[in-house]
Chains A and B, each alone.
Chain A
Amino acid sequence: MTVIMIVYYLITAFTAAMLIWNFIREKSDRQKMVLYLIVLTPLLLRILRIR
């Protein structure tokens, strides 16, 4: 794996971390909670190198 590819996993992981942080902080907007998970799903499967 190249250095640039590793950086892309880091960028993806950083974005995923921000989504999880927002998901945990979200107190009232139930629709928004779903949206965080929708975006998070492909990011997590990429980080885990599944797809």
Chain B
Amino acid sequence: MYLHIGVILLVMAAAYTAANRLKLSVELRMLSATLAGGITGAFFHTPPLMQLGRHMIEGSFTYLDVMLVFVTATIFIEIMATSGSVNFVVRGIVTTFFRVRMLALFLLMFVILIPGALTGAGSVSVLTVGAPCALALGYLGVSRGRSAAILFIIAGLSAAAPPVNIWAMIVSAGTAIPYVGFELPLGIPVLLLGTFTMLTLGWRQEQRLSLEQVLAEMPPVPEGMAWWRVALPFGVFFGLVVIGRVLPFTIPIMGLPLQFVLSAAVALAVSPGPINILTLSRDTVKKLTPLLATMAVVGAMQQVMTVTGVKGLISFAVISVPLIMLYALLVFIIPASEGVLTYGGAAIIGIPLVWFLDSRGLHATVVIAGLSLLWPLGDGLPPTALIGRLTMMVTEYRESYISFLKKTWIPWLAITLVGILMVIFSAKLAFLVEWSM
């Protein structure tokens, strides 16, 4: 059995490489690998050929709701950008905090942390506040590359931050460990690491501009723009999220897509100028299609890998290595699993790993918290590089992807170290869980 699963895995890798040679995009490379793996599997009747299409399409449903969040959140932020709100906000931040630079950086960190913390998706941070924050960082003297690095790392931390952490939720749900007591084990490292990132990447002022110069360089504010026109749509969004949490038994379940749609409707209503929502939506969906396709294909790939046994073999390999080696490997495996499978990595590797470590006497909640600091790093790794690519898009950083990634190395290392130490010393950190409850 090992042999035939190994053959399927090799065929998938070969198809991926061949698709690369044919200059296919990363989504189509993954699709080729999936299709090739599935067809090879069908020779062994795993899956039966007539079920292959069903498995691929069923897999593409795995992240359907996440796809709708992407679409609605991006349409919302595109409306805000088109209405001129973004320029207005950037101007405001820079004018108010130009002279107290470290305070400005610290406040910007919170601005980036909040949307991702509330939604569990770093992409929401990048999409809603990424562009204005990157501009603000630029005017505070941080180079474009470092701004992109800051945005990527803080957005990743925001996804790991409490109250909503999707990786922890997936692993908790799969291991029947309650999703409670994560506030301090996640909150404290996120704040420390976020501050550390702001200090290391933002400390150096690479360009010196006077306030007059900065303001002159900034895009003009549209006629009739005012603070309330910016605040109201965001207020509606965060209001809906907060009210759903405070009054969960009186407010019906809305879900993030509807919350974004309502906020978008408000944004549209208070925009000072007219916006053509149809062409704006069409162009937003066009821009998002590669990311949406990534989500669909990752789901299909995950399912084909499961039904062929490839996923099982990988997860077998992970839990068969000795404990010490496992700790060392986690540094690479956890981010890499996210890079290849997005949230699928938490399911495929996270669930058996946490069971295994739990049975070795580690504290499961702290282990999950530690691991979930590492997963967001993988959102910058190919083939998906989901948040990394979004960050590049939003910050308009035009250099190579590798050069962007290199700029993140110091916080990357710090996050890795903290995450792994949390896993190893989880039993000693159990008090954080108790204090949270």
Contact = CB atoms under 8 A, between A and B. Distances in A.
A38 B281 contact: no
B57 interface: yes
Interface in B267-302: 281-282, 284-286, 289-290, 292-293, 296-297
Interface stretch (B43-51, B114-122, B207-215, B255-263): B255-263
Do most interface residues of chain A lie in helix, strand or loop, or is the interface mixed? Answer: helix
A22 B284 CA distance: 10
B24 A31 contact: yes
B334 interface: no
A39 B67 contact: yes
Nearest to A3: B252
B68 to A, nearest CB: 6
Contacts of B408: none
A18 B285 contact: yes
B410 interface: no
Do most interface residues of chain B lie in helix, strand or loop, or is the interface mixed? Answer: helix
A46 B27 CA distance: 22
A46 to B, nearest CB: 7
B282 A35 contact: no
Contacts of A31: 24-25, 28
B257 A38 contact: no
Contacts of B57: 41-42, 45, 51
Contacts of B206: none
B321 interface: no
Given A19-B289, A31-B28, A41-B57, A11 B257 contact: yes
**3 closest A-B pairs (Cβ-Cβ)?**
A18-B285, A35-B293, A39-B292
26 contacts: A2-B252, A4-B252, A4-B254, A4-B258, A7-B258, A8-B257, A11-B261, A15-B68, A15-B71, A18-B281, A18-B282, A18-B286, A19-B285, A31-B25, A32-B289, A35-B289, A35-B290, A35-B292, A35-B293, A38-B31, A38-B293, A38-B296, A38-B297, A41-B296, A42-B57, A46-B61
